[in-house]
C-alpha cells in the first residue's frame, strides 16, 4: 500500500478519486460535491472547501464504475489544509450489502487481489 497509510486499520484503504455528493443530516444545511482521495470498506477521506464539523452525520453518494454507492457516515476527523481546503475523514455507519460488495471489488482490484477473496473477507 502507499506510503503514509496505516497498515493496522480494521478496513484497509486505497488511494481512489471518485466524485461524492455530501449532504449533512440535521444541524446546519450543507449539500455539495467533493472528490474522495482514499476509500475503504470502513470509510473514506475527501477534500471539502469548508469544515463539516467533527461528529457530523451525513449521507454520501459516491460515483463508482457507473454506479452510485450510498452510505450514511460520520465525520471522524478534519484536517484544515488551507483557507478553502479541509481533508474530511468519515466512517461509514450504514452501507447496503450490494454497495459493500462493489466497494470490496474496487479495493481488491486496487490492491491486486482477486475480487472473490476480498468480497468474502468483507462479510
Task: Burial-class residue 18 by CB neighbours within 10 Å (0-12, 13-18, 19+).
Answer: middle
pLDDT for position 118? 42
Per-residue pLDDT of 33-90, as tens digits, reads 999 999 999 999 999 998 999 999 999 999 998 999 999 999 999 999 988 899 999 9
C-alpha distances (whole Å) from 7 to each of 1, 20, 22, 119 are: 8, 25, 27, 19
pLDDT recorded at residue 4: 44
* Residue 63 bridge partners (DSSP): 68
Question: Which pLDDT belongs to residue 7?
Answer: 57
List pLDDT tens digits, range 91-123: 999 999 999 999 998 888 888 865 544 444 444
Q: Say if pTM beats, i.e. exceeds, 0.85.
A: no
Cell numbers linked to 86: 479541509
Domains in the chain, start-ordered, CATH in brackets?
Answer: 13-121 (2.40.10.220)
Amino acid at each position: 500500500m502507499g506510503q503514509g497509510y496505516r497498515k493496522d486499520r480494521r478496513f484497509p484503504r486505497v488511494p481512489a478519486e471518485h466524485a461524492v455528493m455530501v449532504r449533512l443530516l440535521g444541524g446546519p444545511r450543507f449539500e455539495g460535491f467533493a472528490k474522495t482521495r482514499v476509500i475503504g470498506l470502513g470509510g473514506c477521506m475527501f477534500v471539502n472547501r469548508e469544515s463539516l464539523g467533527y461528529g457530523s452525520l451525513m449521507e454520501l453518494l459516491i460515483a463508482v464504475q457507473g454506479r452510485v454507492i450510498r452510505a450514511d457516515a460520520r465525520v471522524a476527523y478534519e484536517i484544515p489544509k488551507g483557507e478553502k481546503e479541509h481533508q474530511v475523514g468519515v466512517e461509514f455507519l450504514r452501507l447496503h450489502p450490494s454497495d459493500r460488495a462493489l466497494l470490496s471489488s474496487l479495493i481488491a482490484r486496487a490492491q491486486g487481489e482477486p475480487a472473490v477473496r476480498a468480497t468474502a473477507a468483507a462479510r
